[in-house]
Structure 1
Amino acid sequence: MKDYFRLLSFAKPIEKFAIPYVFATLLYILFNTLNLALLAPLLDTLFNHKAAVIAAKTSINEEQSWWDIMGKFRELTDYYILNYGPTQALKFVCIVIVASVFLSNIFRYLSAKTMEDLRVHTLLNLRKKVFNNVMNLHLGYFNNQRKGDIISKISSDVQVVQFTVTNTLQVVFKEPVTLIVYIVLLFSISIKLTLFSLLIIPLAGLIIAKIVKRLRQQATQAHETFANMLGYLDEALSGIKIIKAFNATQYVKERFHQENVTYSNITRKMVRRQQLASPVSEFLGVMMVAGIVYFGGSLVLTGESDLTSSEFIAYIAIFSQVMRPAKALSDAFSGIHTGLAAGKRVLDLIDERPEILDSPNAIEIKSFNKSIIMKDVSFAYGDKLILDRINLEIPKGKTVALVGPSGGGKSTLMDLIPRFIEPKEGKILLDDIDLRDIKVESLRAHMGFVNQESILFNDTIFNNIAFAKPNATADEVMAAARIANAHDFIMNTENGYETYIGDRGIRLSGGQRQRLCIARAILGNPPLMLLDEATSALDTESEKLVQDALYKLMQNRTSLIIAHRLSTIQNADIIVVVENGKVIESGSHSDLISHNGLYRRLIDMQTFTD
């Protein structure tokens, strides 16, 4: 129940919805019960009005108990029969029934409307909390998680949770109150029959509980399998070109199908159990009604009961209604297992904490004045050492290039500077301030990023360039596009800067996508540029133009670049050669060529791959 109450906290302020819901529900139950309480007086008026007149005359001075609701209505109908005749009494009963049904349905609607508002409110808060927490997590978390599992938790699981939370609230209040009111009404008619019926209800509850016992375990398996399916779907859509290029369509289809079959089998078993609860409870209800009909009917026929035939028929009708809230409770009991299984997955995601946080006394930096220095920096993924005691200085205004064989640790070294990851040992200083003492947002605000992979969004060209500077003017965006050699091709698109580029920029070529990424980095005009293979996706002509623009741009700022093309790195002020997580050599292009070391061998082989 701890998980349930945590999930319930997302409905706050719950009193805003609970008070009107309770008020509307109580009035609905009241008027709905009145409809049933009028059944016996209606039957007496129609079929036994002569006896009713005699009863009315003999019971004028008799006082009904306060909780005998049906007795109170019988007094009224007897009064009308005695004073106005059975026709007027029938009219009175019909008017009261119509009014009662009308009011019960009005309050039923208001109750349902309030609960729907609570459901939407809970979903909004829960999904916002989950998504915000995911966005705050460190990059390392996403390297160890399937994207499909995260998507499943934010979309499907959250939806299941909000229905479970609100439906349970609805059932926990509405159905028990309805059940209690019905039982009170039944006791007011016949204590003996009601005690007999209450002996049977717990037996039905035990049987239904047995049926739904394994639902939570199956629900957990279903949610995990569905997450795997979403993961396969995402991979298939992202890699559709490679799938077709390698004739792997059938393999991908089969893999998705196998997971789909597993999910379908688990769901089928779950639904069978859930669906079994309903007919079993209905069958048990009919058995109870039949037992009461036999037991109570025998008492009426033998004269051992004070019930009239109309009262006995009304009792049976009311008792049959008792099974509706009882059935709703059993259905809710089976449904809550599914919701709690989904809720546990959602709460696990909410409880996930980022490893990289601002220190309590973190400061904001206003400028970058001297240098970035790495002192004995080491980094490892688990037991695998990636960087080993790196010492490196990146002076302000200089261009530093990282080169070396693939897997040497160049991208990891670059990721340390914006604190995408944290060093296991050593420290990194910016203007003699440890990066861990600087607010992350303040640090990254001084940096521009262009990666190997062109990360764009399904939006307009203008909004993609202005992504890091939402208040940028059209002139600023166009100026950045011109520097990145993107303006001309943008103007040739269908709607210019307002052209939508599709999912991940699929409507553009690789070179066009990369130039938009460069324009995005340029627009922020940061003092420090981090370029990881920034020109790798450009054709030769575009590369020359963009290279020239980047060269001019880097003259007035600090740049750290990773590249494997000689044209990109030979003009760097400092070239750092990284191999197996260590700095092997560093210097200018001419110095390193003369040293005849690893850099010279890489130049000779032209293998600056990463």
Structure 2
Amino acid sequence: MKTYFRLLSFAKPIEKFAIPYAIATILAVICNTFLFTLIGPLLETLFTPKDGAHAATMIDKASSFDFVGHFNAYINHSVDAHGKLYTLKIVCVVIVISVVLANLFRYFSQRIMEDLRVHTLLKLRKRVFDNIMDLHIGFFSSERKGDIISKVASDVQVVQFTVTNTLQVVFKEPVQLLFYIGVLLSISVKLTIFSLLVIPISGFIISKIVKRLKQQATQAHESFAKMIGFLDESLGGIKIIKAFNATERIKKKFHDENIFYSNLTRKMTRRQQLASPVSQTLGVLVVVFIILYGGNMILTNQGSLTSSKFLVYIATFSQVMQPIKAITDSFSGIHSGIAAGVRVLDLIDTKSTMINAPDAIVLNDFKESISFQNVDFDYGNKPILKNINLTIKKGQTIALVGPSGGGKSTLVDLIPRFYDPIGGSISIDGHNLKDINFESLRVLMGTVNQQSILFNDSIANNIAFSKPDATREEIITAAKIANADGFILNTQDGYETNIGDGGNKLSGGQKQRICIARAILANPPIMLLDEATSALDTESEKLVQDALYRLMESRTSIVIAHRLSTIQNADIIAVIDKGEVIETGTHTELMRKKGLYNRLIEMQTFND
């Protein structure tokens, strides 16, 4: 229940919806219950002879709060005074009014509940997504993207429906049940006590039926998340799948998980569906016993039970099973919502391991240098960087080179504080990165990665991602510097052309030039270039390389490069191997040392 009440907190301010919902529901229940009590007056109007003395007696017996009793007395009086046909018309009019009001109030209650459902979903999904966006980069390295998507899309939907549906059932159905029981007790106390034995018996049997639902629901949500993960990976790697003829293998992998999920869902559904027939069967058995018991009372003239009252009793008792059925269905379905809720709350409770310090420094400019002092870093138990010592002065270009997997990209990722070192420290202008505000630090940096990361939007909006308030002239200027303006103007809608999911409507070189234009538009004092020209075709490579040279002239640049021309022009070259800085110096100095850098050049590791 602790989980349920925490999920319910996302419905706040719940009183905004609960008070009007309660009023509308109670009025709907009153009208609906009164509708069934009209069966008695209708039958008596048609088939039972009455006299004025009897009507007067009924009026005297009816208490001031017994509205139904007063109405029955009025019907009897009307029969005596105006005849059965006139009274029948009155009863029919009252029935129509009761039906209209009952459905009108029910509509308003459902409308209010839907507003609460949408309100809860909005707040819950916002909270989940906001927390995901605030998490550190390392979280996404260890989590399956499909599992995260499943929690945001599917699990949140299950949670909000279960929470609000249960809330609706918990209030409406017991109220309706109490009104029905009140009517039954007013007809026959002895018969009602006997008939209501079905409720605890039904509840006990159903609790046994749905016992394993929570465990199965948790497995079902996890299985669905795996399928979403398979789908995401398959769509992202469709070219590789086709290239290696792996279509059938991927289809089988998805199909196997789909079978497991379907079987699990089938078992859950069977258990949930079993609850309703059980409660209905018990209800019918009780009705049979009521007919035997009540019929015996009428036939043997025991008590004051009449034929018309007995028919009203049976009709009302048949409706008692509806709220009981709704409560049992809600009880069996809540396990799925709670299981989904645990997964969603687990994601909400996950906190970033890197947060701004309470007194974090806001940097407005980069003035002196970036310094690495004895920096160590690892992913879990795997060491990546060891004892890194580097100083990058303002205006310098430093090239990071070395064998693949040596830790170059990780070193660059430490500068905008995507990760924190496990040993040593990194400082900028003498301030430890841990003491600097995230946002102010990253504003000083522009990033172009080896992998072109673009969004399903227009070219202009992708370039302006680094500066949302940029003018069209600024966007075009940045595109021209990146030598992207030419191909952009040749697209269907120019700068308003949609580039598709991940920019799949563009070539590799075009995508990379858009990324470079995005970094140029940000106009930061520090540029982080992770093999920024690796995806460019031969024709555009020189154009973009010239643009990058012009861009780096007035900036501090940290470049991971496989281009000899870029490396030769760097102020400092740091050779990194197995997580350590093996050599530093200019191209000429490193060639003289005849060390690893020289061997890499002789092996033609770098392209010119």
Whether 2:36 is the aligned partner of 1:56: answer no
Q: Flag the 1:433–1:354 CA change in 2: closer, same or farther, 3 A.
A: same
- Aligned pair partner of 1:295 in 280, 293, 312: 293
Tell me how far 1:27 sits from its aligned partner.
0.5
Distance 1:60 1:261 in 2: 66
Q: Once superposed, what is the RMSD of the aligned Cα atoms?
A: 1.2
Q: 1:52 to 1:359 in 2, by over 3 A?
A: farther
> Which ranges in structure 1 are unaligned for 5 or more consecutive residues?
none
User: Deviation at 1:568?
Assistant: 2.3
Deviation at 1:358, TM superposition (A): 0.2
Q: Whole-Å Cα distance in 1 between the matches of residues 453 and 380 of structure 2?
A: 28
- Structure-2 residue corresponding to 1:217: 215
1:278, 1:28 → 2: CA distance? 24
Aligned twin of 2:12:
12
Q: CA deviation at 1:231?
A: 0.3
Q: Which residue of structure 2 lines up, in the alignment, with residue 308 of structure 1?
A: 306
Q: Which runs of 5+ in 2 are unaligned?
A: none
> Which amino acid in structure 2 is aligned with residue 258 of structure 1?
D
2:45 matched residue in structure 1: 45
Counterpart secondary structure, 1:530: strand
Contact kept, 8 Å, 2:50 with 2:80, in 1: the verdict is no
Give the letter aligned to residue 167 of structure 1: N
User: Matched residues in 2 for 1:158 and 1:61: separation?
Assistant: 56
For the 8 Å contact 2:50–2:79, the answer to whether it is kept is no
- Residues 389-400 of structure 1 correspond to what in structure 2 (within 5 A)? 389-400=387-398
**How do residues 513-524 of structure 1 correspond to structure 2 at under 5 angstroms?**
513-524=511-522
Q: Distance in 2 between matches of 1:608 and 1:7?
A: 56
Question: What code does the residue aligned with 2:309 have?
Answer: E
Pairing partner for 1:475 from 473, 476, 479? 473
One-letter code aligned to 1:55:
H
2:490 is equivalent to residue 492 of structure 1: yes
CA displacement, residues 91-145 of structure 1 (integer Å, 9 cap, x when unaligned):
1111111111111111000000000000001000000000010011111100101
Q: Which residue of 2 aligns with 1:75?
A: 73
Contact 2:191/2:294 (8 A) holds in 1: yes
TM-score relative to the length of structure 2: 0.98
- Whether the 8 Å contact between 2:378 and 2:385 is mirrored in structure 1 is yes
User: Superposition pairs for residues 371-386 of structure 1, below 5 Å?
Assistant: 371-386=369-384
1:142 to 140, 143, 148: 140
1:265 to 263, 278, 288: 263
Inter-CA distance 47–54: structure 2 relative to 1 (3 Å threshold): farther
For 1:113, the equivalent position in structure 2 comes to 111
What corresponds to 2:277 in structure 1?
A: 279
CA distance in 2, matches of 1:245, 1:31: 68
Structure 1: which amino acid aligns with 2:529? Answer: L
In 1: Cα distance, 2:117 partner to 2:187 partner? 38
Match of 2:172 among 174, 177, 181: 174
Q: Distance in 1 between matches of 2:37 and 2:143?
A: 59
Displacement after TM superposition at 1:67 (Å): 5.8
Query: Alignment partner of 1:368: what SS?
Result: coil
Provide, for residues 361-406 of structure 1, a one-character-per-residue CA deviation record: whole Å limited to 9, x for no partner: 0021110000000111111111211111111101100000111111
Q: What is the distance in 2 between the residues matched to 1:450 and 1:432?
A: 26
After TM superposition, give the deviation of residue 65 of structure 1 in Å: 3.7
Match of residue 35 from structure 1:
35
2:555: which partner in 1? 557
**Equivalent-residue separation in structure 2 for 1:451 and 1:108 (angstroms):** 57
1:494-573 equivalences in 2 (<5 Å): 494-573=492-571
Q: Is the 2:454–2:511 contact (alpha carbons within 8 Å) kept by the matching residues of 1?
A: yes
**1:36 corresponds to which letter in structure 2?**
F
1:405·1:608 contact (CA, 8 Å) conserved in 2? Answer: no
Q: Is residue 67–residue 188 contact of structure 1 (8 Å, CA) maintained in 2? A: no
Tell me, yes or no, if the aligned pair for 2:50 and 2:76 is still in contact at 8 Å.
Answer: no
Q: Shift of residue 217 of structure 1?
A: 0.8
Deviation, structure 1 residue 69: 4.8
**Match of 1:507, as an amino acid?**
K
CA distance in 2, matches of 1:606, 1:351: 50
The aligned amino acid for 2:55 is A
C-alpha contact (below 8 Å) 1:44/1:52 kept by paired residues? no
Question: What are the within-5 Å matches in structure 2 for residues 183-202 of structure 1?
Answer: 183-202=181-200
Kindly report which structure 2 residues correspond to 1:430-469, keeping only aligned pairs within 5 A, or say none.
430-469=428-467
- The verdict on how the C-alpha distance between 1:273 and 1:608 changes in structure 2, with shifts beyond 3 A counting, is farther
Alpha-carbon spacing, 1:60–1:454, altered in 2? closer, same or farther (3 Å): closer
Is contact 2:31–2:98 with CA below 8 Å preserved after alignment? Answer: yes
CA drift at 1:329 = 0.1
SS in 2 for 1:62: helix
Counting matched residue pairs gives: 607
Distance 1:287 1:51 in 2: 35
Q: Which amino acid aligns with 1:555?
A: E
Q: Shift of residue 167 of structure 1? A: 0.3
CA-to-aligned-CA distance 1:454-490 (integer Å, 9 cap, x gap): 0000000000000011110111001111111100000
Q: 1:308 to 1:403 in 2, by over 3 A?
A: same
Secondary structure at 2:60 match in 1: coil
Q: CA deviation at 1:301?
A: 1.1
TM-score (normalised: structure 1) = 0.98
In the alignment, what sits opposite 1:94?
Answer: 92
Q: What is the aligned counterpart of 1:427 among 400, 421, 425?
A: 425
Amino-acid identity (%) = 64
Give the counterpart letter for 1:93 in structure 2: V
Label 1:52 to 1:353 Cα distance change in 2 as closer, same or farther (>3 A): farther
Query: Quick one: distance in 1 between partners of 2:42 and 2:14?
Result: 42
- What's the CA shift for 1:62? 3.0
2:403 aligned counterpart, secondary structure: coil
Offset of 1:606 from its aligned partner? 2.3
